[in-house]
């Protein structure tokens, strides 16, 4: 792998999107990582798009993309996944809640041979800053349910901040989540379809500007729907969608990982 793509969905993030891009670009450049930053404006009503255009004139690695609709976190990420050109992709939040240094760690871990790298805020060595108590309780309950349903050791499946090789994204098609439930669809499909993965501890901090887009009351049934769909695939598909059954992505060779996570 030679080139990393970072997909950032953004909606009404005028207060922080420029600094998020600048800090990420600086971190990747300092570590000599060839990269592109695909920022998807998901129907912003503020100055987000204007800021993206101005930033792109200063940083050639920035590629602003507009999502014409329908709008939603999942739709924005899907638009970004259709546009990225790198050998691997990291999905990252626009509000600087994710640490740019962890993007470098993701890239280096992928280079060891894994198909996916999943960050965990709740593993030893990870951490959260200013995490709302109610959200923490719901998060822990949801992740425990997923761990028991799928028999996996990953304890932060719902976290959006993850890394995938290009062939994983192709192998997870069709991606159907229109909202935040895409955060569980991608990793669960990757696991069920036989791609190798590992988890590393990461840090997270609550946003300092703007308003959180996740509406917990609206998402419960959507998360359950996606989890149920992937569970049914795992139980009844007889391996029809597993990695060995899927054609390789155009221009990407099949890779045998050096080792697999437990």
CATH code of the domain covering residue 134:
3.90.550.10
**Does residue 255 lie in a domain region?**
no
Residues across the chain = 262
Higher-pLDDT residue of 258 and 221 is 221
**Does residue 187 lie in a domain region?**
yes
Q: How far apart are the C-alpha atoms of 185 and 261, rounded to whole Å?
A: 19
Higher-pLDDT residue of 215 and 162 is 162
Instruction: Give the per-residue pLDDT at 135.
Output: 85
pLDDT digits (tens, 9 = 90+) for 54-106: 999 999 999 999 999 999 999 999 999 999 999 999 999 999 899 999 999 99
pTM of model > 0.85: yes
Structure token digits, residue 100: 């740019």
pLDDT digits (tens, 9 = 90+) for 118-152: 999 999 999 888 888 888 899 999 999 999 999 99
Query: H-type helices in 122-238, by residue range?
Result: 133-150, 166-171, 182-192, 216-236
**Does residue 198 lie in a domain region?**
yes
Tell me the Cα Rg of the chain: 17
Query: What contacts 69, CB < 8 A, 6 or more positions away?
Result: 43, 75
138 is in which domain, residue-wise?
4-245
Query: H-type helices in the chain, by residue range?
Result: 17-30, 48-58, 73-83, 100-110, 133-150, 166-171, 182-192, 216-236
Structure token digits, residue 163: 């890394």
pLDDT digits (tens, 9 = 90+) for 13-60: 999 999 999 999 999 999 999 999 999 999 999 999 999 999 999 999
Judge whether 223 and 188 are in contact, CB under 8 Å.
Answer: no
**Does residue 47 lie in a domain region?**
yes
**Does residue 130 lie in a domain region?**
yes
**Does residue 259 lie in a domain region?**
no
**Does residue 73 lie in a domain region?**
yes
What region does 49 belong to: left with phi over 0, alpha with psi -120 to 50, or beta?
Answer: alpha
pLDDT digits (tens, 9 = 90+) for 173-231: 999 999 999 999 999 999 999 999 999 999 998 866 655 555 556 568 899 999 999 99
Q: How far, in whole angstroms, is CA 5 from its chain's centroid?
A: 11
Q: In Å, what is the CA distance from 142 to each residue of 78, 138, 205, 210? A: 23, 6, 20, 26
What pLDDT band is residue 244 in, cutting at 50, 70 and 90? low
**Does residue 124 lie in a domain region?**
yes
Backbone angles phi, psi at 86, to 5 degrees: -80, 180
Q: How far apart are the C-alpha atoms of 65 and 63, rounded to whole Å?
A: 6
Judge whether 108 and 22 are in contact, CB under 8 Å.
Answer: no
What pLDDT band is residue 238 in, cutting at 50, 70 and 90? confident
Total domain count, the chain: 1
């Amino acid at each position: 792998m030679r080139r990393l793509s970072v997909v950032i969905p953004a909606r009404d993030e005028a207060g922080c999107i420029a600094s998020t891009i600048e800090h990420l670009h600086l971190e990747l450049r300092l570590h000599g990582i060839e990269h592109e930053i695909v920022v998807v404006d998901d129907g912003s009503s503020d100055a987000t798009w204007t800021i993206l255009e101005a930033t792109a004139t200063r940083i050639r690695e920035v590629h602003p993309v507009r999502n014409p609709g329908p709008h939603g976190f999942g739709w924005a990420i899907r638009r970004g996944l259709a546009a990225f050109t790198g050998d691997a992709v990291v999905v990252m939040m626009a509000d600087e809640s994710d640490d740019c240094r962890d993007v470098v760690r993701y890239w280096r871990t992928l280079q060891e041979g894994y198909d996916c790298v999943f960050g965990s805020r709740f593993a030893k060595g990870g951490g959260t800053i200013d995490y709302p108590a109610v959200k923490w309780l719901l998060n822990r309950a949801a992740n425990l349910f997923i761990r028991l349903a799928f028999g996996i050791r990953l304890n932060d499946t719902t976290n959006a901040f993850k890394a995938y090789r290009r062939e994983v994204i192709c192998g997870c098609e069709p991606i159907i989540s229109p909202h935040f439930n895409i955060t569980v669809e991608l990793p669960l499909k990757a696991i069920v379809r036989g791609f190798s993965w590992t988890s590393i501890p990461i840090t997270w901090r609550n946003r300092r500007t703007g308003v959180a887009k996740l509406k917990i009351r609206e998402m419960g049934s959507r998360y359950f729907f996606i989890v149920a769909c992937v569970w049914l695939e795992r139980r009844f598909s007889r391996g029809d969608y597993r990695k060995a059954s899927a054609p390789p992505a155009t221009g990407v060779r099949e890779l045998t990982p050096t080792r697999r996570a437990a």
